[in-house]
Each structure stands twice: as structure tokens, then as C-alpha cells.
């Protein structure tokens, strides 16, 4: 499926829900009244969390890493909350619009879903968040960074969405500074894949780059499934850019990287990727071409993270036998923490042991909850933006996938 069809699908899915928000029927259960509904959890029954991430394919490291972060958060709570066992129901959203719609529909169809965590991809969250909120279910994003998801002008159907990751409004500004001030680039070509993440990040970076005095020679597009990048790269070579900025995902990113080295005139032109490519699969796909390749990314060094991050990483290694495989594990842990803190604030348990959770009350409590997360401070604004961005650039140093380790390969080179 081309990026145009994928983007159109997401647009249609959201348009179908235009003008809607959460179910509007006020409800009273167990002495709890809520404007959009009350979830009742019988004694001994689990509190069910939904999760939707990319769990298969070239970008699966994003989803697997996030799921592990949530699992560690559950373990740190002893697998229990308010006397109920915690249960995580995960759907594979495939990192695309169709997958996001399908995953959200399945999670919303479960009347016992208390809250949903995810996605790792803005392409999936764009159609998914309105479906969940129409069912009265709050959604905490863990790596879906498209600015539109938390924009002040977002539509009411996104009122239930918030995220413990940053907005690409901030990353785009930081990336332009790196290209202009550090690489001394004055002419840039951008490449996106039509996804909300890549398209919006490339646009924000380009706007900031132009404000700094730079020139955007062209805005190119590829599809996530494209294999032959020679035509677009040959066209770019005629423009003589100082740098190519391509914040796309693993499969297409690796093809661009390998083939750019074969195009006359681009041999020494830096190709800069971004957040969707922090994965061992990027090395697997690019092999020797990966050496020296740089991606812009949030700073994952211990001094940039929360105080609890070093312990979290050790717990991760013990649980899974390897270091974190992508970069949003801490954001997912904090999403689970935010969800549990919010539930604790609003839940009421009666004499029979049944726990009641008001759905709108939960959304409001989540927005009002602040704490020091393992990824850093968590504090939501009125539009669901709960985290801050600390910029970094990482460079791959070895073409052997077995050497993948964030901090070593790739290693942080800026700031």
C-alpha cells in the first residue's frame, strides 16, 4: 500500500468520527457518577489495560521495547493495583493506519478495558485515538510524536489522547539547529514517507531551517515499501544539497542509505535519519553502509533521563537478557505509571470489593497528575503533551547487528 493510500485511510477514519467525542451518556454505578460512563471491576477481576504497538515487521523493536517498559512497570507494582491483578491486552497495529484502526476497534470492543497505552507510531494513533475516546477510553501514547496529536487546534475526538513522549515540534527545531549550526548546511532536501510522523517532522524541521537562513531545495516522498531509491536520489543529486534529511522508518531508510552511496554527486552528502531508525534491524538491513550514519534522537544518556532510569535499565536487562532494543521503553514505563496513578486517584471500591472507575474522571485525573518519571518529569498540558524533548544525535559505528547497543552502536555524538 502506498503512503498516499495509507494517509488517505487515516484521514477518512478520523473524518468518519468528526464531531464526536466520548459517549455522552452520564452513568451512575456503585455511588460513582460520571459524565461518560463508569467501569465496574468485580472483586478478584483484573484491571485490564489495552496496548497497541507495532509488534511485527521491520519496525517491531519500537513496539516490543514499549511493551517491555509497561511489563516492568506492572512488575514494580507487584502485578496488582487496588487489590486487582493487572492485565495487559496487546494488539499489533503494524505501524500504519489500517492496523491502528483495527487495534483500537478490538480494544474498544472489550467493555472491561480501563485504559489504553500506545501507539509507538503516529500513523496508528491518528485513527485509533478517536475510536478509543468515542468508547470513553483514555489513550496514553508512548512514542507517537506527530505534532497534530496534541495540537491546540486538534478536534474534540482527540480529547482522550495524551502522551508521555515529546512532540516533533521540539525535535524538528532541534534537528534544524544541528543541520545548520553543527553540519554548517545551508541547502537541504527532505524526504518523508507520507506518515504523520515523517511528514510533520520533516515540515517542522524545514520551517525552522528556513527561519535560520537555510534553503529547502525540495521536499521528496517515498513509500515505506519502496525498494528502488535510485530515481529519487538521482533527482536529488542534481540539486546539489549539503545534506539530505529523511526521518523515515527502517525498511525505506536502509534502502536510501545503501543506494545513496551509489549515486554520483551524493558520495559525500550526509544522509540524516531520525527516531524511527533506532533499532538493530536498521543495522541488519543496511550492514556496512550503516557505519558513520547519523540519526537525530531524544537523549538517552543517564544524565538526561529521570533518576530512576539506571535501575530501570538493569531491571530490563535482567528480565529480557539484553539492553533496551529501542528508545521509548522509559516513555512506555511512564505511561503505565501515569495510568496507574490516575486510576488510584479516581477509583472507588465498595464493601463487596467491586471497584468503580469514572471514565471522564480518569481522563481528567491523568491530565492533572505530575511525577518524576524514569524518562524525566511528567506533567501534562491542556492538550495532552506530558513530556519534554532533550535533543541528541547518534552515530552508528559498526555494521554487525550483534554490536547494537544504544550508547555504543549507535553512540551519542551531539551535544
Q: What does residue 332 show for φ and ψ, rounded to 5 degrees?
A: -70, -40
Residue 22 pLDDT > 80 = no
Determine the pLDDT at residue 326: 96
- DSSP designation for 121: -
Give the C-alpha distances (Å, rounded to integers) separating 155 from 126, 160, 260: 11, 11, 40
User: Are the C-beta atoms of residues 72 and 333 closer than 8 Å to each other?
Assistant: yes
H or E stretch covering 382? none
Q: What kind of architecture, by CATH, is found in domain 19-167+307-389?
A: 3-Layer(aba) Sandwich (3.40)
Angle of helix 329-346 versus helix 359-368 axis, rounded to 10:
120
99-119 residue pLDDT tens: 999 999 999 999 999 999 999
CA distance 95 to 194: 13
278-291 residue pLDDT tens: 999 999 999 899 99
H or E stretch covering 93? none
Determine the pLDDT at residue 24: 60
CA distance 271 to 248: 12
The answer to whether domain 169-298+392-414 has CATH 3.40.50.700 is no
User: Are the C-beta atoms of residues 5 and 330 closer than 8 Å to each other?
Assistant: no
For residue 292, count CB atoms less than 10 angstroms from its CB and return exposed for 0-12, middle for 13-18, buried for 19 or more. Answer: exposed
CA distance 323 to 333: 15
Where does the pLDDT of residue 15 fall: very low under 50, low under 70, confident under 90, or very high at 90 and above?
A: very low
Question: 183-200 b/e with 16+ CB inside 10 Å = b?
Answer: bebeebbbbbbbbbbbbb
Low-confidence winner among 18-22, 172-176, 292-296, 393-397 (lowest mean pLDDT): 18-22
Beta-carbon contacts of 291 under 8 Å, excluding residues fewer than 6 positions away, are 396, 397, 398, 399
Sole residue written with cell 510524536: 145
Count CB atoms within 10 A of the CB of residue 227.
Answer: 9
Distance, first Cα to last Cα, the chain:
38
Beta bridge partners of 376: 373
Whether a cis peptide bond, with omega within 30° of 0, leads into 131 is no
For residue 279, count CB atoms less than 10 angstroms from its CB and return exposed for 0-12, middle for 13-18, buried for 19 or more. Answer: buried
Give the C-alpha distances (Å, rounded to integers) separating 197 from 49, 98, 106, 126, 147: 25, 16, 24, 10, 8
Determine the pLDDT at residue 23: 57
Can you say how many angstroms the Cα of residue 229 is from the centroid of all Cα atoms in its chain?
Answer: 26
217-276 residue pLDDT tens: 999 999 999 999 999 999 999 999 999 999 999 999 999 999 999 999 999 999 999 999
298-333 residue pLDDT tens: 999 999 999 999 999 999 999 999 999 999 999 999
Give me Rg for the CA atoms of the chain. Answer: 21
Three-point CA angle 408, 375, 205, nearest 5°: 75
Residue 138 pLDDT > 80 = yes
Residues forming CATH 3.40.50.2300 domain(s) in the chain: 19-167+307-389, 169-298+392-414
Beta bridge partners of 372: 377
Residue 18 pLDDT > 90 = no
Sole residue written with cell 509488534: 55
Residue 1 pLDDT > 60 = no
Where does the pLDDT of residue 130 fall: very low under 50, low under 70, confident under 90, or very high at 90 and above?
A: very high
Determine the pLDDT at residue 364: 98
H or E stretch covering 196? helix 196-211
Kindly write down the DSSP assignment for every residue of 40-57, as one continuous string: EE-TTPPEEEEEEE--SS
Q: In what order do the strands lie in the sheet with 139-141?
A: 80-81, 84-92, 47-53, 113-118, 139-141, 161-163
CA distance 211 to 215: 9
Average pLDDT over the chain, rounded to an integer:
94
Whether a cis peptide bond, with omega within 30° of 0, leads into 302 is no
Residue 171 pLDDT > 90 = yes
Amino acid at each position: 500500500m502506498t503512503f498516499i493510500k495509507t494517509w488517505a485511510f487515516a484521514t477518512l477514519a478520523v473524518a468518519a468520527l468528526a464531531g464526536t467525542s466520548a459517549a455522552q451518556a452520564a452513568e451512575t454505578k456503585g455511588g460513582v457518577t460520571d459524565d461518560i460512563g463508569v467501569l465496574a471491576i468485580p472483586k478478584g477481576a483484573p484491571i485490564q489495560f489495552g496496548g497497541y504497538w507495532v509488534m511485527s515487521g521491520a519496525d517491531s523493536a519500537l513496539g516490543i521495547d514499549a511493551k517491555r517498559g509497561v511489563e516492568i512497570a506492572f512488575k514494580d507494582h507487584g502485578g496488582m493495583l487496588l487489590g486487582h491483578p493487572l492485565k495487559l491486552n496487546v494488539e499489533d497495529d503494524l505501524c500504519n493506519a489500517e492496523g491502528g484502526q483495527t487495534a483500537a476497534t478490538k480494544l474498544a470492543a472489550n467493555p472491561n478495558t480501563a485504559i489504553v497505552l500506545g501507539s509507538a507510531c503516529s500513523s496508528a494513533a491518528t485513527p485509533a485515538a478517536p475510536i478509543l475516546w468515542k468508547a470513553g477510553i483514555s489513550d496514553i501514547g508512548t512514542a507517537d510524536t506527530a505534532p497534530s496529536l496534541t495540537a491546540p487546534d486538534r478536534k474534540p475526538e482527540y480529547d482522550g489522547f495524551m502522551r508521555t513522549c515529546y512532540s516533533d515540534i521540539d525535535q524538528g527545531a532541534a534537528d534544524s539547529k544541528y543541520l545548520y549550526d553543527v553540519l554548517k548546511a545551508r541547502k537541504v532536501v527532505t524526504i518523508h514517507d507520507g506518515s504523520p510522523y515523517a511528514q510533520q517532522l520533516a515540515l517542522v524541521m524545514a520551517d525552522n531551517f528556513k527561519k535560520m537562513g537555510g534553503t529547502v531545495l525540495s521536499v521528496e516522498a517515498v513509500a515505506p515499501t519502496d525498494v528502488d531509491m535510485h530515481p529519487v536520489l538521482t533527482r536529488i543529486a542534481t540539486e546539489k544539497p549539503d545534506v539530505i534529511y529523511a526521518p523515515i522508518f527502517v525498511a525505506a531508510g536502509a534502502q536510501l542509505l545503501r543506494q545513496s552511496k551509489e549515486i554520483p554527486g551524493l558520495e559525500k552528502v550526509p544522509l540524516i535519519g531520525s527516531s524511527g531508525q533506532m533499532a538493530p534491524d536498521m543495522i541488519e538491513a543496511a550492514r556496512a553502509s550503516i557505519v558513520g550514519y547519523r540519526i537525530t534522537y531524544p537523549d538517552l544518556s543517564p544524565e538526561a533521563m529521570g533518576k530512576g532510569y539506571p535501575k530501570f535499565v538493569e531491571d530490563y536487562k535482567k528480565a529480557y537478557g539484553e539492553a533496551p532494543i529501542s528508545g521509548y521503553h522509559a516513555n512506555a514505563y511512564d505511561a503505565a505509571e501515569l495510568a496507574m496513578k490516575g486510576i488510584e486517584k479516581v477509583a472507588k471500591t465498595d464493601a463487596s470489593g467491586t471497584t468503580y472507575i469514572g471514565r471522564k474522571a480518569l481522563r481528567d485525573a491523568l491530565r492533572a497528575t505530575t511525577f518524576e518519571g524514569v524518562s524525566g518529569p511528567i506533567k501534562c498540558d491542556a492538550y495532552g503533551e506530558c513530556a519534554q524533548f532533550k535533543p541528541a544525535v547518534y552515530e552508528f559505528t559498526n555494521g554487525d547487528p550483534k554490536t547494537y547497543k544504544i550508547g555504543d552502536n549507535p553512540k551519542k555524538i551531539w551535544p
